[in-house]
């Protein structure tokens, strides 16, 4: 494994996450139903599939949303983020199910992906709901997930709010654990650099975890250095608007494990309602992902014209052999290119519309503010 490139070696991380999840299922005897928090659906698809879940005792899979799911199995496993509203909702649902089942033994299990609630806070909430001894709590820490070529993430959308706004450092431990696992796979870096208060705490937590004796310094070409930078050293950048295609799409629309969804009414009626950003499978995105947003639409326009020229060639084909060659060599590529162009054009239109709305709202706010300021100045002048 030491001879493999770094990206290939890092592919062991999703397998580690899968093994941790499946081992939890193995420790819960008999078949069971799985209820999944919608926020975890996309990350879950990054490291496991339905076939693996079935092989480890999962009979039925439900989407965990408001409203009770019919109880078809006394053993139910809830996979959710440890956020207070979600945990409380699930516990109240379990309480209601216990009353409905009229004394039949339920065996609910909670698998908590780290969020704003600590394990102690969850146990306290279980006690408040009078479910002590009835609910079994498990913890699942995600390892780094590959979103794109050279881009790995823990997909913790609440991290900024919890750590920097609310001052809740609960998430520092799972972050440190993930970086510790990264070093177990790649080897310890030759240079470890941390800047910022929370970054330093992450390093301190990493050093507390047990290091196997064979975890040596990384070899050349793997993990030469590891830099951990805290957001609090550069607050102004939070307020800056990104200009690259990927960054602006993420800020305006938002993404979940590379999946971007937007309302279909923003574009044409036939426009797709979302797009999957992956430069390995989407050659158009591979070219535009780091472009300045103003350069994206001209590029898409050029590719669209090229596609139209290819379509014109097939209509002018003079022999069956030419048509056969086109179908064999270019038809599939043209269909994929057409789909990709339509998705990215719709995404550009949606982003432009949303940014225009924000600019309009900002202008209206400034006009209102100036109007109120002028009124206040006039009243002060009259008093004088």
Which of 150-164, 199-213, 221-235 has the lowest average pLDDT?
221-235
With a cut of 80, say whether residue 53 has pLDDT above it: yes
Q: Are residues 270 and 225 located together in one domain of the fold?
A: no
Q: How many CA atoms lie within 13 A of 88 on its CB side?
A: 8
Q: Are residues 19 and 142 located together in one domain of the fold?
A: yes
Q: What is the mean pLDDT of residues 111-129?
A: 87
pLDDT for position 21: 96
Q: Are residues 147 and 72 located together in one domain of the fold?
A: yes
pLDDT for position 137: 92
pLDDT for position 314: 66
With a cut of 90, say whether residue 211 has pLDDT above it: no
The rounded mean pLDDT for the chain is 83
Q: Are residues 128 and 72 located together in one domain of the fold?
A: yes
381 confidence band (pLDDT: 50, 70, 90) = very low
Domain-terminating residue out of 152, 167, 198: 152
Domain of 91: which CATH number? 3.40.50.2060
Which residue range is the domain that position 198 belongs to?
A: 156-233
Q: What is the mean pLDDT of residues 145-168?
A: 88
Q: What is the mean pLDDT of residues 307-319?
A: 71
Q: Are residues 46 and 106 located together in one domain of the fold?
A: yes
pLDDT for position 307: 84
Residues with Cβ within 8 Å of residue 185, at least 6 apart in sequence = 9, 10, 12, 13
Tokens of 33: 């139903």
Q: Are residues 278 and 318 located together in one domain of the fold?
A: yes
Q: What is the mean pLDDT of residues 241-270?
A: 78
Q: What is the mean pLDDT of residues 57-64?
A: 90
pLDDT for position 263: 64
With a cut of 70, say whether residue 336 has pLDDT above it: yes
- Percent of the chain topping pLDDT 90: 35
Q: Are residues 166 and 148 located together in one domain of the fold?
A: no
Measure CA 181 to chain center: 19
Q: Are residues 191 and 148 located together in one domain of the fold?
A: no
With a cut of 50, say whether residue 377 has pLDDT above it: yes
Distance CA 308, CA 315 (A): 11
With a cut of 50, say whether residue 266 has pLDDT above it: no
pLDDT for position 103: 62
Q: For the chain, what is the domain count?
A: 3
With a cut of 80, say whether residue 106 has pLDDT above it: no
Q: Are residues 265 and 346 located together in one domain of the fold?
A: yes
Domain of 269: which CATH number? 3.90.830.10
Q: Are residues 198 and 111 located together in one domain of the fold?
A: no
User: What DSSP character marks residue 164?
Assistant: I
Domain-terminating residue out of 152, 169, 192: 152
Tokens of 323: 């048509």
Which of 3-12, 96-105, 344-353 has the lowest average pLDDT?
96-105
Q: How many residues does the chain have?
A: 384
Phi-psi label, residue 341: left if phi above 0, alpha if psi -120 to 50, beta otherwise? alpha
Q: Are residues 80 and 11 located together in one domain of the fold?
A: yes
Q: Are residues 144 and 14 located together in one domain of the fold?
A: yes
């Amino acid at each position: 494994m030491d001879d493999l490139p770094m990206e290939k070696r890092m592919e062991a991380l999703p397998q580690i996450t899968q093994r941790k999840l499946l081992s939890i299922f193995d420790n819960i005897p008999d078949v069971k139903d799985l209820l999944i928090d919608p926020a975890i659906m996309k990350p879950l698809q990054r490291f496991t599939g339905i076939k693996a879940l079935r092989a480890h005792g999962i009979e039925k899979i439900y989407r965990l949303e408001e409203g009770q799911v019919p109880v078809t199995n006394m053993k139910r496993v809830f996979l959710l983020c440890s956020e207070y509203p979600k945990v409380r909702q699930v516990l109240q649902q379990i309480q209601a199910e216990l009353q409905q089942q009229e004394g039949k033994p339920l065996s609910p299990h909670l698998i908590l992906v780290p969020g704003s609630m600590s394990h102690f806070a969850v146990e306290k909430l279980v006690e408040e709901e009078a479910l002590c001894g009835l609910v079994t709590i498990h913890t699942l820490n995600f390892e780094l997930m590959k979103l794109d070529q050279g881009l790995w993430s823990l997909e913790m959308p609440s991290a900024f709010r919890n750590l920097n706004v609310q001052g809740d450092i609960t998430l520092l431990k799972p972050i440190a654990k993930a970086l510790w696992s990264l070093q177990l796979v790649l080897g310890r870096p030759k240079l470890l650099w941390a800047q910022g208060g929370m970054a330093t705490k992450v390093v301190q937590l990493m050093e507390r975890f047990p290091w196997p004796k064979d975890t040596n310094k990384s070899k050349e070409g793997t993990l030469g250095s590891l830099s951990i930078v805290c957001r609090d050293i550069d607050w102004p950048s939070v307020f800056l608007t990104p200009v690259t295609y990927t960054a602006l799409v993420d800020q305006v629309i938002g993404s979940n494990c590379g999946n971007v969804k937007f309302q279909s009414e923003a574009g044409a009626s036939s426009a797709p309602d979302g797009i999957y950003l992956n430069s390995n499978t989407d050659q158009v995105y591979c070219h535009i992902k780091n472009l300045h947003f103003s350069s994206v639409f001209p590029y898409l326009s050029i590719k669209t014209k090229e596609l139209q020229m290819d379509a014109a060639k097939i209509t002018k084909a003079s022999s069956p052999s030419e048509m056969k060659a086109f179908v064999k060599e270019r038809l599939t590529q043209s269909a994929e290119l057409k789909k990709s162009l339509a998705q990215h054009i719709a995404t550009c239109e949606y982003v432009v519309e949303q940014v225009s709305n924000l600019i309009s709202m900002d202008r209206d706010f400034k006009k209102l503010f100036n109007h109120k300021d002028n009124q206040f100045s006039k009243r002060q002048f009259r008093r004088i």
